[in-house]
Amino acid sequence: MKPFSELQAQHLTADVLHHEIGSRGYVLIRNLLPRTELNKLLGEVSQILSRSGWLTSGRDPIERIANAKAACGDPDPAFKSTYREVFNLESFHALPHHPQLKAVMKLIVGDRVLVHPKPIGRLIFPNSERLRVHAHQDYRFMNGDPECFTVWIPLHDCPGEMGPLQILEGSHHFGFQAHIDENLHVPEIPAGAEMGDEWVGGDINAGDVLIFHSLTVHAAAPNFSDRMRISLDCRFQDCARVVNPANLAFAGESGKSWEEIYKTWTSPNLKYYWKSLPLNFQPSRAEIETLSHTAASPSMRSRYSRILAQIA
């Protein structure tokens, strides 16, 4: 596979970033984030995985040697309860706000940067093909404005055999591509139907960040190692552009709430920061209110009611 094109963190300007993302659909920045800070978060996450029995006992959890018998992933119930513990970590939510990352995102989206408040943690068991994320565009899941960017951040060195993300270079030039969702937990673009230039990939190390446009097709490589691959992905956009309010709330039936998540946090800084921003919701608050009474099915009406209550 063709190797990623890459930039070093010390050589970044808005022009260079716009050129890379505009032409290729992504930019891989080497050595942007301090390894010590990533390692601290990795330590917290791997303690949780170890307590859940996901790691081989007798080894240091930070090595992430997987207990193959525990292999699970979304939507397995065993996965969800452990994932929730990871998601509730204050440090997990703090990483997307890292000043070095925010400075780069400002160069890409402008000064009014919105850090979407729901990063996703990937806790990927090795040799579990059924749990691998296949080709898709994030716009399929985010809606809102396509000028939204995902940042993929491994918490440890992630060599090719450990399943880093791969990118279909130039695929953002082809608009929204058809996804299938029949019998699939996560919709995907059927293999061979993706439109773009060439798949690119390679090692992505602790400190590196892979940034891509919401229409860029990407997929996870298989994890053939004996370790769990742990990464976080988060989304950024210009505050003034349209935002799908579902991206700030827990619209499903999980019962998750910001109140519960924030309960154990020690600092007020990142609690509800998004509520004080002048966001351009689509649908608007008034439209969601109407939809909570008029949407076609009771489950959709409940979904809109939950969103409304959480963004109020």
Structure tokens at 69: 């018998």
CB 245 within 8 A of CB 281: yes
With CA atoms as reference, report the closest residue to 289 among 301, 274, 277.
301
Contacts (CB under 6 A) with ligand AKG, residues 2-41: none
Residue 76 CB, nearest approach to ligand AKG (Å): 16
Contacts (CB under 6 A) with ligand AKG, residues 84-143: 122, 124, 133, 138
Contacts (CB under 6 A) with ligand AKG, residues 193-222: 218, 220
Tell me how far the alpha carbon of residue 288 is from its chain's centroid. Answer: 25
Can residue 231 be called a binding residue for ligand AKG (CB under 6 A)?
yes
Strands 113-115 and 229-238: antiparallel
Residue 269 CB, nearest approach to ligand AKG (Å): 25
Residue 215 or 220: the one with the smaller Cβ distance to ligand AKG is 220
Residue 93 or 306: the one with the smaller Cβ distance to ligand AKG is 93
Instruction: Rule CB under 6 A: choose which of 46, 52, 150, 237 binds ligand AKG.
Output: 150
Give the number of residues written for the chain: 312
> 3-class SS at 27?
strand
Instruction: Rule CB under 6 A: choose which of 165, 189, 243, 261 binds ligand AKG.
Output: 165
Q: Fill in the per-residue mask, 48 to 87: x = in contact with ligand AKG (CB under 6 A), - = not in contact.
A: ----------------------------------------
End-to-end CA distance of the chain: 47
Residue 30 CB, nearest approach to ligand AKG (Å): 18
Q: How far apart are CA 38 and CA 91, in angstroms?
A: 10
Residue 247 CB, nearest approach to ligand AKG (Å): 13
The number of CA neighbours under 13 Å toward the Cβ of 287 is 7
| Cα separations in angstroms, 104 against 35, 54, 69 | 17, 35, 40
Q: Which residues contact 309 (CB under 8 A, 6 or more apart)?
A: none
Instruction: Rule CB under 6 A: choose which of 79, 139, 152, 274 binds ligand AKG.
Output: 152
Residues in contact with ligand AKG by CB under 6 A are 122, 124, 133, 138, 150, 152, 165, 218, 220, 231, 233
